[in-house]
Amino acid sequence: MEHLLALQNLHVSYHTPRGTVQAVRGVDLTLDSGEVLAVVGESGCGKSALLKAIMRLLPENASVTGRIVVNGTDIAPYPEKQLQKLRGSLFSMVFQDPMTALNPSMTIGSQIAEAIVVHEPKISKEALRARVLELMELVEIDRPMERMKLYPHNFSGGMRQRAVMAIALAARAKILLADEPTTALDVTIQAQILDLLRNLQKKLHTATILVSHDLGVVARAADRVAVMYAGKIVEIGTAEEVYYDPRHPYTWALLRALPALATGGDALYTIPGMPPTLIDPPKGDAFACRNEYALAIDYEKEPPLLRVTDTHYAATWLLDPRAPRITPPIGVRRHGI
């Protein structure tokens, strides 16, 4: 089957006076119509770089190699003009902070209208108004007739994020790229926004890449989960596989560090150390020096993504038949997301 989106050996580098930051180091990913793929990992592991490479919203000091295949066509070599058309109609991005994504001096209604007009310049006034209302209803903003006349500062954080989603949906994009869309919100509102994302998915059949540093947050929305570390995908599988049968020690560590797991009486676990600098990534498995289950080979040779099932892969030598049998730590085995 042809995928809606396939990333092949994607690399993103930032060239800085201190050296080249290898933010994304050879990522392969596919995304199908109607699915939510979560990309999860600690700060600095390259999640935003990955999304920005797809949207081609990278700064001047960045370079990208690899293929970005949309419905069978590699769009990586497309010039900016051609890409501009794709942004919006094919891809749409929802950023972390709705306040910076919205214009404080324009009403919510006119900002949604503006986004519609960009893609449907010939739309009539009546049709435009109807579409604004339709989008506001779609993102479950109550009393849209009243609220379209309000300004961003009149909206709560969760409402603003809904408005940002309405703007992102205005062009009927096939792929929604959401970078930490709920991080700025409190826990209850986070859950509501993720449920909304899920509902939109069902209604519109959009495909979504949902980026988060929190495995717990994306659990309620993701069909599949890709765990990223130091610019690479270290584990990928269906949500069920990653949450209930995780295989990579980094995924174990992320799961153990979830607050929900600490309620059993454990002191809250934090992953020791820090992710490596991506200017000069370590030899072997980049997680080895923080991994209590590291094998000697991890310091020498990088593990490839090894197959667990047809949908589940993890880059750890623990999956090699010669590796010792290791049971995941307690917090991971009895988690209940």
Ligand X SMILES: Nc1ncnc2c1ncn2[C@@H]1O[C@H](COP(=O)(O)OP(=O)(O)OP(=O)(O)O)[C@@H](O)[C@H]1O
Task: List interacting residues with ligand X (CB under 6 A).
Answer: 14, 16, 21, 23, 41, 43-49, 59, 61, 213, 278
What is the nearest approach in angstroms of Mg ion to the Cβ of residue 71?
A: 27
225 binds, among ligand X, Mg ion, none (CB under 5 to 8 A by kind): none
Q: Please identify, using beta-carbon distances, which residue of 169 and 219 lies nearer to ligand X.
A: 219
Residues near 160 by beta carbon (within 8 Å), at least 6 away in sequence: 98, 99, 102, 152
With residues binned 3-state (H G I as helix, E B as strand, rest as coil), the percentages for the chain, rounded to 5, are 35, 20, 40
Among 48, 92, 111, 182, the residue binding Mg ion under the rule CB under 5 A is 48
Q: How far is CA 31 from the centre of its chain?
A: 12
Q: Please identify, using beta-carbon distances, which residue of 131 and 213 lies nearer to Mg ion.
A: 213
Q: Please identify, using beta-carbon distances, which residue of 148 and 257 lies nearer to ligand X.
A: 257
Quote the CA–CA distance of 230 and 44 in Å, as a whole number: 7
What is the nearest approach in angstroms of Mg ion to the Cβ of residue 104?
A: 23
21 binds, among Mg ion, ligand X, none (CB under 5 to 8 A by kind): ligand X
What CA–CA distances, in Å, run from 285 to 260, 296, 324? 28, 10, 17
Laid out side by side, the sheet with 224-229 consists of 91-94, 175-179, 207-212, 36-40, 224-229, 232-238, 313-314, 306-307
151 binds, among Mg ion, ligand X, none (CB under 5 to 8 A by kind): none
Q: How many residues bind Mg ion (CB under 5 A)?
A: 1
Q: Please identify, using beta-carbon distances, which residue of 99 and 106 lies nearer to Mg ion.
A: 99
What is the nearest approach in angstroms of ligand X to the Cβ of residue 280?
A: 12
**Among the listed residues 85, 107, 101, the one whose alpha carbon sits nearest the alpha carbon of residue 180:** 101
148 binds, among ligand X, Mg ion, none (CB under 5 to 8 A by kind): none
Quote the CA–CA distance of 307 and 99 in Å, as a whole number: 42
What is the nearest approach in angstroms of ligand X to the Cβ of residue 23?
A: 4
What is the nearest approach in angstroms of Mg ion to the Cβ of residue 72?
A: 29
H or E stretch at 94: strand 91-94
78 binds, among ligand X, Mg ion, none (CB under 5 to 8 A by kind): none
φ and ψ of 209, to 5 deg: -105, 120
Interface with Mg ion (CB under 5 A): 48
